[in-house]
Amino acid sequence: MKKEMLKKVCLLSVAAMTLGAFTGMPAQAGYTLNPEVKDATPALKQAAEIGVRKHETEALKNEKDKDAILVLSFGTTYKNSREKTINKTVEDIQAAHPNTKVVLAFTSHIIVDRIGQKEGIEIPTPEKALARLKEEGYTRIAITSLDVIPGMEYAYDTAIYDLYKNDFKKMVVGTPIMYWMGQEDQRDDVEEFVQALATQFPKTGKDEAVLVMAHGTPHPANAYYSVVQNRIDVANLGNVFVYSVEGWPHLDTVIPQLKARGIKKVTLMPMMMVAGDHANNDMAGAEDDSHKSVLEKDGFTVDTYLHGLGENPAVRKMFVERANEAWDALEKQ
């Protein structure tokens, strides 16, 4: 029994660990099953679908091609930040694909409702956006994400893909800006992201630091923040520390490190697509429990940088590249 179980584990391990190598083409950044794997089951095939995923529906193969790009973002009720970040990124994606319909949808249904009530603007959920595209005769959809890491929000993106892919002739879902991290022959999205993020860092002295506030998530993808910190350290970017508002590491994880290095002044900045509620209130608010207030009570001088990642041209470029990857996978025969 143990030998049989071990054999099964080994076979699955071989299938999973030798799925293939990075193809070298950004649009096809994924793995393929090892040719030694014969008669792969649907479950094994789906497990091997990492990176840019694509699906073609055999029953709809004779439909005429009519393509669209669906951009998915969590969204924000902060109109000013939304226009400078999400809307600007969508504009850049549209500029890269001038003859293609580009649709924006928000994955936060609460934000969709609030924007509708406060601004009278209808921003669809992914479900409504796809239903509308279907009604308009679109048959091939490239889904691209404005997520930073493949956490819970990206899990929603891929769930949308899994639930609706059979409704269209072809559907593709791309990756967040951070997905690969240099494993095997993969590119290092985290290193590229850190380089882009560093373009907005202020110059700091020996007793100054930058605290980058991530969102945080109960999803295992929270581990990406540790990789971000590693790439920051490897790049010798100085006293830069990543912490999160709803995950790990926490602010109180970082404060002892600041004191150990003799830091007197810090600059707080969000590592989020928008400078919304978390940035304006949790990070920079006047309340006693805001991060700014907590640090000031602990004797630090605090500056705040209230700009979302979408305002950073280098970061927006990465989002456009991810959209291009999804589009290229959609167009590839």
CATH 3.40.50.1400 placement within the chain: 55-177+314-331, 201-306
187: confidence class by pLDDT, cuts 50, 70, 90: very high
Q: Could you count the other beta carbons within 10 Å of the beta carbon of residue 9?
A: 10
**Once rounded to an integer, what is the mean pLDDT over residues 110-126?**
97
19: confidence class by pLDDT, cuts 50, 70, 90: very low
How many Å from the N-terminal Cα to the C-terminal Cα in the chain?
45
The pLDDT score that the predictor gives to residue 34 is 84
37 pLDDT above the threshold of 70: yes
167 pLDDT above the threshold of 80: yes
What gap in Å lies between CA 268 and CA 195, rounded to an integer? Answer: 18
184: confidence class by pLDDT, cuts 50, 70, 90: confident
Q: Is 195 exposed, middle or buried (0-12, 13-18, 19+ CB in 10 A)?
A: middle
CA distances from 65 to 61, 83, 136, 165, 288 (A): 9, 32, 13, 15, 56
Q: What is the DSSP letter of 27?
A: G
104 pLDDT above the threshold of 90: yes
Contact present, 144 and 176 (Cβ < 8 Å)? no
Residue type, 30: G
Q: Could you count the other beta carbons within 10 Å of the beta carbon of residue 142?
A: 29
The pLDDT score that the predictor gives to residue 14 is 35
By DSSP bridging, strand 101-106 and strand 240-244 are unpaired
**Once rounded to an integer, what is the mean pLDDT over residues 165-192?**
96
Q: What is the DSSP letter of 218?
A: S
Beta pairing partners, 213: 243, 270
Dig out the tokens for 110 from the structure: 């609460």
Q: What percent of the chain has pLDDT over 70?
A: 91
291 is catalytic: no
Q: What is the DSSP letter of 281?
A: I
The pLDDT score that the predictor gives to residue 138 is 98
174 pLDDT above the threshold of 70: yes
Identified catalytic residue from 55, 97, 109, 215: 215
The pLDDT score that the predictor gives to residue 158 is 97
279: confidence class by pLDDT, cuts 50, 70, 90: very high
**Once rounded to an integer, what is the mean pLDDT over residues 212-218?**
97
316: confidence class by pLDDT, cuts 50, 70, 90: very high
| CATH match of 55-177+314-331 with 3.40.50.1400 | yes
By DSSP bridging, strand 265-270 and strand 208-214 are parallel
Q: Could you count the other beta carbons within 10 Å of the beta carbon of residue 254?
A: 23
Smallest CA-to-CA distance from 178 within 115, 242, 269, 237 is with 242
252 pLDDT above the threshold of 50: yes
User: In degrees rounded to 5, what are phi and psi of residue 274?
Assistant: -120, 160
310: confidence class by pLDDT, cuts 50, 70, 90: very high
Residue type, 87: N
10 pLDDT above the threshold of 50: no
26: confidence class by pLDDT, cuts 50, 70, 90: very low
Beta-sheet strand order (sheet of 301-304)? 240-244, 208-214, 265-270, 301-304
Beta-sheet strand order (sheet of 67-73)? 53-56, 170-173, 140-145, 67-73, 101-106
Radius of gyration of the chain from its Cα atoms, rounded to whole angstroms: 22
> Which numeric CATH code is attached to 201-306?
3.40.50.1400
The pLDDT score that the predictor gives to residue 323 is 98
Residue, of 7 and 324, whose pLDDT is higher: 324
Smallest CA-to-CA distance from 255 within 266, 269, 271 is with 266
30: confidence class by pLDDT, cuts 50, 70, 90: low
User: In degrees rounded to 5, what are phi and psi of residue 144?
Assistant: -125, 150
257 pLDDT above the threshold of 70: yes
16 pLDDT above the threshold of 70: no
